[in-house]
Amino acid sequence: MANLELKNVSKVYGSGVSQLTALNKVNFAAHEGETVLIVGPSGSGKTTFLTIAGGLQTPSTGEVLINGSGYSSTNKNEQSALRLNKIGFVLQAYNLVPFLTVAEQFELVDKVKQNNMAAERFEGVLDTLGIKDLLAKYPKELSGGQRQRVAIARALYADPEYILADEPTAALDTNRSLEVMSLFNQLAHKYQKAVIVVTHDQRLEEKADKVYQIIDGQMSLLKDKTE
């Protein structure tokens, strides 16, 4: 069973007087088939959490387990391959390559990875995200919200086990935000993905299966529908 766990993870930036504990002994688990929301004020450690969970940073102490095995024991190439095959990132910026059209963003995924989402299913994703008509456009021709939706589609296209999204609805209006959240729920429930969404968007809370809160690097479980 696919799951992602953080055990006693701390992250300390800097040293001496400028030392800052961005994550403090965080314990966390996300399983396939559920959507997990992580909320918290700005600077509370959300992005730090997401990048550690996705293997872009190593924790200062503690460990990250993906499907039961330690992430940090693998080498750089293996980590890169793991991210390619298992993790779909939706980041806060620079998700799209500026000189590729929307369609080519997906084509790039095909160039570097096999077994991507089947065409019919992907059509559905494009429909839900409302970006079917944008395929021929370049990122600079899109609005912020459209860009974000394309970034979500790009992450989903690789058909990862985990979806890690950093503020994916920041540029979207309420309706779109809820639709995106429904799409995440559908992916989790129907296709057994584990979706982890970092946000300060309170509107999404009721739609998630689990809600964690981070304040000053301390994580606590707010709500768990699965229990």
Q: Are 133 and 101 in contact (CB under 8 A)?
A: no
Member of 35, 48, 95, 105 binding ligand ATP (CB under 6 A):
48
Name the strand (E) or helix (H) holding 199.
strand 194-199
The b-or-e profile of 203-214 (16+ CB within 10 A means b, else e) is ebeebbbbbbbb
Which CB sits closer to Mg ion, 47 or 128?
A: 47
Closer by beta carbon to another protein, 51 or else 192: 51
Q: Is 164 in the site for ligand ATP (CB under 6 A)?
A: no
Considering only the stretches 22-30, 32-40, 110-118, 186-194, report the one whose residues sit in contact with another protein under the rule CB under 8 A: 110-118
State the Cα–Cα distance between residues 212 and 40, nearest whole angstrom. Answer: 9
Residue 91: contacted member of Mg ion, another protein, ligand ATP, none (CB under 5 to 8 Å, by partner type): another protein
Residues 188-217 touching ligand ATP, rule: CB under 6 A, are 200
Instruction: Report the amino acid identity of residue 89.
Output: F
Residue 171 binds another protein (CB under 8 A): no
Binding to another protein (CB under 8 A) within 72-91 occurs at 77, 80-85, 87-89, 91
What own/partner pairs with CB < 8 Å and gap ≥ 24 does 110-116 have?
112/84, 113/84, 113/85, 113/158, 115/159, 116/157, 116/158, 116/159
Report the sign of the C-alpha dihedral through residues 73, 78, 79, 82, in that order.
Answer: negative
Cβ-based neighbour number of residue 13 at 10 Å: 13
Q: Is 217 in the site for another protein (CB under 8 A)?
A: no
Q: Considering only residues 46, 149, 154, 207, which one is a binding residue for ligand ATP as defined by CB under 6 A?
A: 46
| Binding pattern for the stretch 1-40 against ligand ATP, x by CB under 6 A and - elsewhere | ------------xx-----x-x-----------------x
Which of 1, 17, 19, 94 touches another protein (CB under 8 A)? 94
Provide DSSP, 72-113: TTS-HHHHHHHHHHHEEEE-SS--S-TTS-HHHHHHHHHHH-
Give the pairing of strands 162-166 and 194-199. parallel
- Cβ atoms of 43 and 54 closer than 8 Å: no
Q: Which of 21, 67 has the CB closer to ligand ATP?
A: 21
Binding site for ligand ATP (CB under 6 A): 13-14, 20, 22, 40, 42-48, 200
Binding site for another protein (CB under 8 A): 47, 51, 54, 56-57, 77, 80-85, 87-89, 91-100, 104, 107-108, 111-113, 138, 155, 158, 166-167
Binding site for Mg ion (CB under 5 A): 47
